[in-house]
C-alpha cells in the first residue's frame, strides 16, 4: 500500500527519547490498562424510518477527490519518466531495487533448478517458478490446490462463451451481436500486504477463455529479494500471461494505462486494490489521452453474514474476519436472527480470539470498530436488511432445513448481493480460492445491422 511513514509519538518528539519526568518530581500513577478487546458495534433498526435505516447501514465514506489528488503526482511521474519512475517508486514504496520492471515467460519449469539462480529451497525441487532467471520454489501442495482451482474456474467461464446472435427484426433487416476478445488487458493483482493468487486466477482465467492476445499482470514485488510470489507466477503460467509488471499501487495503473518503454499500453484494466489503486483507475479512465477502460472503481471489501443461535460461533467469526483483515476501510456486518445475548457473546468472543491470532490484527481492530451487528426477529427481516445493504459478499450461515428452505428458495429472497454463499460449510475464503465466484467481462460486444 502506498503511504507515508508513521510519525513518532508526541512524547518521543518532545523528549527526543529522554525521560520527561523532572528530577525530584513525583512519579505519576500508571495509566489504566487499555481494553484490548476487539468489538463490533450493535445497532437496532426497530422503529427507524427508511432514511434513518439507510443512515445506520451507510458504509464508511471514501473521499475519492482527495485520493485522486494524491495519486495524480504519481501518475504524472510515470507518464513523464516511464520505467525510471517505476523503479524509483518501487524502491520508495516496496523497498526493492529492480533491474527490470517487467518479466516475461516462462514463469514455470517442471524440471530441476540446476543451472538457474534459485532461492534456498529450489535446488531440491522437481518444479519451480521463474522470475526472469531466478528460480522460486513452490510448495507442491499449493501447486496442486491452484491446479484444482484453475480447472474449476476455467470450466465455469468456458460455459459462458456465447454463440453470435443473429435475428431478422423485419424483412430484409438483420441485426447481430458478436463478442470479440479485448486485445490487450492489464490485470492488477494486489500483493502489498497479502499474496492473492486467487485474484490472479479470477482475472486471468476469463481473459484466457475469452482469447485476449496480451494478458499482462501487475503486482508488487516481494520485499527482500524483489521476486514475484511463486503462487502468482504459477497462475501467470497457467493463464498464459505475456508479461508481469513488478509494480503496485498507482504507479502500476499508470504504467498499464499509458505504457512505458518496457510496459506495453493496455486497452482495459481489471482488478481490485486499495484506495490508491482505485483512485488511479478512476483518474486514467477519465483521461482521454490514456484511452483506456477499467472494469469498475472497486470499493472497500465487505461481507454480510446472517446467523442464528445454532450457527457455529467459530465459523461466523472466521467469515467476518475473512473480509475485515483486507484493510482498515473494510466493513463487515453480522445480521442475527433472534440471537440471544449469550449466543452473540459467543460470536464476539470468537471474533476477538481469532483476530488476536492474526498477523494483521491491527488492521482488523480498526475495520471491526466500524462494523455492525444487527439483530432481527425473522429470516425475512434479515433478508430485508441484507437487500438494503447490498453486500459485496453475502454468507447465509444457517441450517436451511430449520426454515423449511432449500438453497434455491433462499436465493429467491436475495435481491442485491455480489456473491452468495449458502449454508454453514461455504466459507467465502475457500470459494475465493477454488470456485469462479468472480465474473469479469473480457469481450467487446459488437452490435451491427445490415439490410439487403
Residue 37 in grid coordinates: 478487546
Catalytic residue, from 157, 237, 326, 393: name it.
Answer: 393
**Phi, then psi, of 182 in degrees rounded to 5:** -70, 135
Q: Is 342 a catalytic residue?
A: no
Bridge partners (DSSP) of residue 225 are none
Pair 320, 371: CB distance under 8 Å: yes
Note the Cα 323 to chain centre separation in Å: 9
> Within 10 Å of residue 8's Cβ, how many Cβ atoms?
11
Contact 388, 53 (CB under 8 A): yes
Q: Residue 375: what are its φ and ψ, rounded to 5°?
A: -100, 135
372 in Cβ contact with 41 (< 8 Å): yes
Scored b (16 or more CB within 10 A) or e, 115-132 reads ebebbeebeebebbbbbb
Task: Give the DSSP letter string of 401-443.
Answer: GGGT--HHHHHTT--S-SEEEESTT--HHHHHHHS-------E
> Cβ distance 251 to 90 under 8 Å?
yes
Nearby residues of 193 by Cβ (< 8 Å), 6 or more positions away: 1, 327, 360, 363
Neighbouring CB atoms inside 10 A of 218's CB total: 30
Q: Among the options 302, 325, 392, 428, which is catalytic?
A: 392
Residue 144 annotated among the catalytic residues of the structure: no
Are the C-beta atoms of 220 and 255 separated by less than 8 Å? Answer: no
Cell of 207: 481473459
User: Could you give the CA distance from residue 222 to residue 224 in angstroms, rounded to a whole number?
Assistant: 6
Q: Would you please indicate which residues are annotated as catalytic (active-site) residues?
A: 392-393
Amino acid at each position: 500500500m502506498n503511504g507515508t511513514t508513521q510519525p513518532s509519538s508526541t512524547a518521543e518528539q518532545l523528549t527526543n527519547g529522554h525521560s520527561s519526568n523532572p528530577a525530584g518530581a513525583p512519579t505519576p500513577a500508571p495509566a489504566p490498562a487499555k481494553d484490548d478487546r476487539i468489538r463490533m458495534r450493535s445497532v437496532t433498526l426497530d422503529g427507524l424510518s427508511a432514511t434513518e435505516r439507510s443512515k445506520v447501514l451507510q458504509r464508511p465514506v471514501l473521499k475519492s477527490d482527495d485520493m485522486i489528488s494524491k495519486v495524480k503526482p504519481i501518475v504524472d511521474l510515470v507518464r513523464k519518466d516511464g520505467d525510471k519512475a517505476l523503479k524509483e517508486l518501487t524502491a520508495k514504496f516496496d523497498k526493492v531495487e529492480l533491474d527490470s520492471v517487467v518479466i516475461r515467460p516462462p514463469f514455470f519449469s517442471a524440471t530441476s533448478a540446476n543451472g538457474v539462480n534459485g532461492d534456498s529451497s529450489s535446488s531440491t525441487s522437481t518444479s519451480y517458478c521463474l522470475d526472469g532467471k531466478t528460480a522460486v520454489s513452490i510448495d507442491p501442495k499449493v501447486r496442486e490446490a491452484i491446479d484444482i482451482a484453475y480447472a474449476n474456474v476455467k470450466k465455469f467461464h468456458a460455459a459462458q462463451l456465447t454463440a453470435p446472435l443473429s435475428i431478422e427484426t423485419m424483412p430484409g433487416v438483420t441485426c447481430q451481436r458478436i463478442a470479440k476478445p479485448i486485445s490487450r488487458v492489464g490485470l492488477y493483482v494486489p500483493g502489498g500486504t497479502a499474496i492473492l493468487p486467487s485474484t490472479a486466477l479470477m482475472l486471468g482465467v476469463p481473459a484466457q477463455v475469452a482469447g485476449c492476445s496480451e494478458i499482462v499482470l501487475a503486482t508488487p514485488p516481494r520485499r527482500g529479494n524483489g521476486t514475484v510470489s511463486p503462487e502468482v507466477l504459477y497462475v501467470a503460467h497457467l493463464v498464459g500471461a505475456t508479461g508481469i509488471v513488478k509494480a503496485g499501487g498507482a504507479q502500476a495503473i499508470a504504467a498499464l494505462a499509458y505504457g512505458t518503454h518496457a510496459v506495453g499500453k493496455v486497452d482495459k484494466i481489471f482488478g481490485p486494490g486499495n484506495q490508491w489503486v482505485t483512485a488511479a483507475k478512476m483518474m486514467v479512465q477519465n483521461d482521454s489521452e490514456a484511452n483506456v477502460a477499467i472494469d469498475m472503481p472497486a470499493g472497500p471489501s465487505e461481507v454480510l453474514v446472517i446467523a442464528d443461535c445454532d450457527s457455529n460461533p467459530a465459523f461466523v467469526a472466521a467469515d467476518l474476519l475473512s473480509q475485515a483483515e483486507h484493510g482498515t476501510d473494510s466493513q463487515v456486518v453480522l445480521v442475527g436472527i433472534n440471537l440471544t445475548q449469550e449466543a452473540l457473546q459467543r460470536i464476539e468472543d470468537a471474533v476477538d480470539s481469532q483476530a488476536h491470532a492474526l498477523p494483521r490484527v491491527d488492521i482488523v481492530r480498526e475495520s471491526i470498530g466500524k462494523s455492525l451487528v444487527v439483530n432481527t426477529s425473522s429470516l425475512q427481516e434479515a433478508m430485508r436488511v441484507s437487500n438494503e445493504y447490498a453486500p459485496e459478499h453475502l454468507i447465509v450461515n444457517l441450517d436451511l432445513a430449520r426454515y423449511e428452505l432449500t438453497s434455491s428458495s433462499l436465493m429467491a429472497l436475495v435481491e442485491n448481493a455480489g456473491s452468495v454463499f449458502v449454508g454453514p460449510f461455504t466459507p467465502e475464503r475457500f470459494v475465493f480460492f477454488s470456485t469462479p465466484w468472480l465474473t469479469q467481462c473480457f469481450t467487446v460486444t459488437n452490435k451491427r445491422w445490415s439490410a439487403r
